[in-house]
Chains A and B, each alone.
Chain A
Amino acid sequence: MKAYDLAELALRNLRESVLRNSLTTAGISVGVASLVAMLSLGIGLQQLAARRLQKSGLFDTVVVSSRRDLRGFNRDEERNGPAPAESPTLNETARQKIEKIPHVREAYPDIRFVTELRYQDKPHLGMVAGLPFSAKSNDAFDGMQGQFFSSDGAAEAILQKSFAAELLGRHSEPDDNTNVAELAAPLLGKELVMRYAQRVASPENEHPGAPQTMDDALTAAAYSVVSRVQTLKIIGVSDLDPDSMRGTARARVFIPLQLAENLHIMQASDLRDSTPSSGSEPAYATVGVRVDSPKYVPTVEESVKKMGFNAFSIVDATRSVRQFFAVLDLFLGIFGSLALAVASIGIVNTLVMAILERRREIGIMKAIGASDGDVKKLFFAEAGVMGLFGGAVGVMLGWMIGRVINLGTNVYLKRQHFPPEQIWYVPWWLVGGAIVFALIVSLLSGLYPAARAARLDPVQALRYE
């Protein structure tokens, strides 16, 4: 029998016992709907997490630190590779080498220090970080009030929202929703006085080179610390933390990187670097490596690790997040599929009932020339049509359920004074996949009834009343 005839006969047979077949199809729809709703929520949550991570602006950044620091982000990395003492120092030479790795846009030293900042003669303590000029394109500055640094060496500062609030004498909560513009208005253009400790090389240290004697080595590492003052102009207040990866070491004031380098500010890592083997060249605590595109992050990370440094990227962090969501999706999918499994039993039941009911009809069809294959295909087609309809209706139903859950969640978020979030997403592959899945489940359910109908003995079937 031709496919068109099969479909036509299947549809007319399904219409004959419309109630029973509709109920079976509804069963499939509910199964598919639960699958789609569960997975759409899983995917939505995953995307929400991804968006949050993306907003950090460091998706294309690899943070490189020296193994000497003994503060790698990954314990395994510390166990493998060269021992901390044998690993190279993260200095200017290393930075330039890293910058030459393919797909690396830039490698900038991370300069950060805690110091005193005076605003209107009131002292405040805060972490100051040097920010490369390229960070201008960072998503974190999208909601910034004021402007970005005029040049890489300008004596300007961008304040983090919470620090701006502190300067104004306001009490600030970490997840406060105060308007940034409100905070920025009185501060922009004002002066901020930064006191800092400058690292000044000792006068004896005029001939840098490999230390020959113990005395030489001591001399090479020697430097003085001088207290200095730098006046900065407040030019911007940022809502988001462009540096959010750093956790406890979060900066509250940002100054141009070139300026920070020029000031030769004494950093915490300098104390460790005063050990003899480090040489005269100052070492960086960390180097930020910006990569052309997030997809190159793993390869660049690998190259950096081969050089003997620790490397950490947000991709590393998202890997575990993605793993979590893969497991979550799997579980949600299994729960969703359970309903579909129950629905498939409904299909088997409906079709087996149909065989009993249509025994005589099958006998007639065989008597007038239907082959086993024709009968089998007909029952198969009926199962397929139910699956296709059930799948299509189920996807729509699942879409609506997801929408309702999303709506409910947003109402709750609004009551808790949180901004609305899209926690539900139905991609096209899920729409197609769910319908195809329903079709496959239905066809599998139709296997046994179809085979049974095809095996019917026409003589026996014709006798059946």
Chain B
Amino acid sequence: MPQSHGKAPVAGRTRRAAGWYSRVVIVPPAFVMTANPANSSPESRPDAVVSENLCRYYAMGQTLIRAVDGVSFHIQAGEFTALLGSSGSGKSSLLNLIAGLDRPSSGAVVVEGRNLAQLSREELAQHRLHTVGMVFQSFNLIPSMTLIENVELPLRFAEADRGMRDGLTRQALDRVGLGARATHRPSELSGGEQQRAALARALINQPRLLLADEPTGNLDSRNGAEIMNLIREFNESLGMTVILVTHERALAERYAKRLLFLADGKLTGDQQINGLPPTQPSGQPSGAQP
């Protein structure tokens, strides 16, 4: 089910974005239907991410590193899932595969109905631009650009209308509480502020999926909580599917509704939080926790 990522959907998305930031409910009917899948019944929710026997191997000299080794799971639209595992367990590699930054060695990863393993480089770029938003442990803002330029960058790649860009970018910065610091460079901001700016950038193109790779890893607990609260807000109010990569189980349990455990590239556990029934990952033993 390949979806088109031409210019028309971008325009639609920007219209939606304007409504979203200003919290005015002038949204197209399609948006109302899918606005918040988290609030609809679990049965009616479509799968946002499906992983089928997903593998990613790296050759390192003579040895083969199995970063992701036969992982299968389904993540429903609007779900807040945490990928838990120790360092080197393959959780970041798995996230990169879902983000379309990397290609699987074998197996399939289907995001929003598109098998990323079959997409061209150009289509993967479109996937990263429109379908997913990413935040990283090290923020990854471009140091030579001001905050507003950093946040605007995905709109440039999406060829969004110039007249609308400035307004959208400022709204996004206001939303994360950085409206006053728009013209500052990343180096002039605290870690928490930088990560908030990175969040604003990740959401500027209105993706359906937010991928966060240890977003609080470089932050103190107060700033970390602030970021996590923002992510939860996006998940709950906008119905975004969130996949959080972390090694902090407490953090995962506090915010996520589902925990996936990874060890040595394999899925070792799948746990639902808040009393929701667990989803059975196909071909994987469920409930096995480290």
Contacts and interface: CB of A to CB of B under 8 A. Distances in A.
A4 interface: yes
A397 interface: no
Contacts, number: 71
Nearest to A6: B156
Max chain A Cβ within 10 angstroms of own Cβ: one of B129, B145, B154, B157:
B157
Contact of B140 (A1, A372, A462): A462
Contact of B153 (A4, A16, A365, A462): A365
Interface in B99-138: 99, 101-102, 121-122, 125-126, 128-130, 134, 136
Interface residues of B, number: 28
A373 B130 CA distance: 17
A364 interface: yes
A214 interface: no
Contacts of B205: 369
Contact of B121 (A360, A361, A371): A371
SS class, residues of chain A in contact with chain B: helix
Contacts of B122: 371-373
A92 interface: no
Interface in B123-176: 125-126, 128-130, 134, 136, 140-142, 144-145, 153-154, 156-159, 162
A9 B154 CA distance: 13
A368 interface: yes
B201 interface: yes
Contact of B142 (A4, A361, A459): A361
Contact of A458 (B101, B141, B142, B158): B101
B96 interface: yes
Contact of B101 (A4, A366, A371): A366
Contact of B144 (A16, A363, A370): A16
Contacts of B140: 360, 363-364, 367, 462
A13 B153 CA distance: 13
A369 B142 contact: no
Contacts of B145: 12
Given A366-B125, A459-B102, A462-B136, A371 B144 contact: no
Contact of A364 (B102, B121, B129, B142): B142
A77 interface: no
Contacts of B202: 368
Interface string A340-382: 0000000000000000000011011111111111100000000
Contacts of A364: 140-142
Interface of A: 1-2, 4-5, 9, 12-13, 16, 360-361, 363-374, 458-459, 462
